[in-house]
């Protein structure tokens, strides 16, 4: 159902740490103009963990209204509290999102049976396409391939964002079921697409949307030689955007490009100077600044 380059939008803040909706609008317009295939507000890259639920809802609603049907929008609706995740998922449906992204519950470390119960409860309550989100490095729990296959039997669980750093995991999932897989790791997008993933929910797409969209589109057409050229061109950027914790580097890059202010909410802070200088050199090499 979801294919190509979906961008995990950053949430721009003013110097007083309030959401900067003027900058947010510019970012959305940037993607509309540069071929991005879809937008994902209020995920990990969007600092959802430090947004209040009211702010999160306001951001999702803003993006849906700004896009005005021109691109699919998958709203970040995850929580480690099933009741809260259900409320946020209902909201994504109410405001017209095309899907809801639900991270595995973090900190409380549910079993696979608990994950199945969590997602099943939400999917059966809200008739919206649901994207599972596996990112063990942030949550402390892995969504096993067998669990994904079991959940894929529910009609509106249609996709998984796979950010476990493993192409083997993608192969295991697709050997068990026909769910859509999207990469959650830019540097593994092309390898994952080579074994059947349909695209990416991208951090780098915030900065190079046209290149990411083209790479994914080429790969979807089986033109992997051409897609590989873009992969290797952007590979230094993929790595640079994780010199420090995401979204610290991508916000620094967007600020250096004049698109947002380099403001994050505590406990995240701007990049350290040595790492920022390394990032800046990558941006210069790619002629982004």
Give the catalytic positions in this structure. 133, 161
Gap between the Cα atoms of 205 and 119, Å rounded: 28
CB 46 within 8 A of CB 19: no
Counting every residue written for the chain, the total comes to 289
| DSSP code of residue 159 | E
Q: How many CB atoms lie within 10 A of CB 57?
A: 20
CB 18 within 8 A of CB 53: no
Instruction: List the one residue out of 222, 165, 231 whose CA is nearest residue 204.
Output: 231
Question: What residues does 228 pair with on adjacent strands?
Answer: none
Question: What residues does 202 pair with on adjacent strands?
Answer: 7
Q: Which helix (H) or strand (E) holds 147?
A: helix 145-151
- 31 backbone dihedrals φ, ψ, rounded to 5°: -75, -35
What are the distances in angstroms from CA 184 to CA 60, 81, 122, 181, 192? 20, 22, 22, 9, 10
Cα dihedral across residues 66, 68, 74, 77: positive or negative: positive
3-state secondary structure at position 270: coil
Instruction: List the one residue out of 24, 121, 10, 20 whose CA is nearest residue 76.
Output: 10
SS3 of 56-68: the string is HHHHHHHHHHHHC
């Amino acid at each position: 159902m979801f294919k190509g380059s979906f961008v995990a939008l950053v949430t721009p803040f003013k110097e007083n740490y309030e959401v900067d909706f003027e900058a947010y609008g510019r970012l959305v317009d940037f993607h509309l103009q540069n071929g991005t295939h879809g937008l994902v507000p209020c995920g990990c890259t969007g600092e959802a963990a430090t947004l209040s639920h009211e702010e999160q809802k306001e951001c999702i609603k803003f993006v849906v209204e700004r896009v005005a049907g021109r691109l699919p929008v998958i709203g970040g609706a995850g929580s480690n509290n099933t009741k809260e995740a259900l409320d946020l998922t209902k909201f994504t449906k109410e405001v017209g999102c095309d899907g809801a992204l639900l991270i595995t519950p973090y900190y409380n470390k549910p079993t696979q049976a608990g994950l199945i119960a969590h997602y099943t409860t939400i999917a059966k309550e809200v008739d919206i396409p649901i994207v599972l989100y596996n990112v063990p490095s942030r949550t402390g729990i892995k969504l096993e391939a067998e669990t994904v296959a079991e959940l894929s039997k529910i009609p509106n669980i249609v996709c998984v964002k796979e950010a476990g750093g493993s192409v083997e995991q993608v192969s295991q999932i697709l050997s068990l079921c026909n769910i859509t897989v999207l990469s959650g790791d830019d540097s593994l997008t092309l390898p994952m697409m080579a074994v059947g993933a349909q695209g990416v929910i991208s951090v780098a797409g915030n900065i190079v949307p046209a290149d990411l969209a083209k790479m994914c589109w080429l790969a979807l057409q089986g033109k992997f030689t051409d897609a590989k050229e873009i992969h290797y061109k952007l590979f230094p950027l993929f790595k640079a955007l994780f010199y420090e914790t995401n979204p610290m580097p991508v916000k620094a890059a967007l600020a250096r490009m004049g698109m947002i202010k380099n403001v994050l909410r505590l406990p995240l802070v701007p990049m350290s100077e040595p790492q920022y200088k390394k990032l800046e050199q990558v941006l210069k090499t790619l002629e982004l600044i």
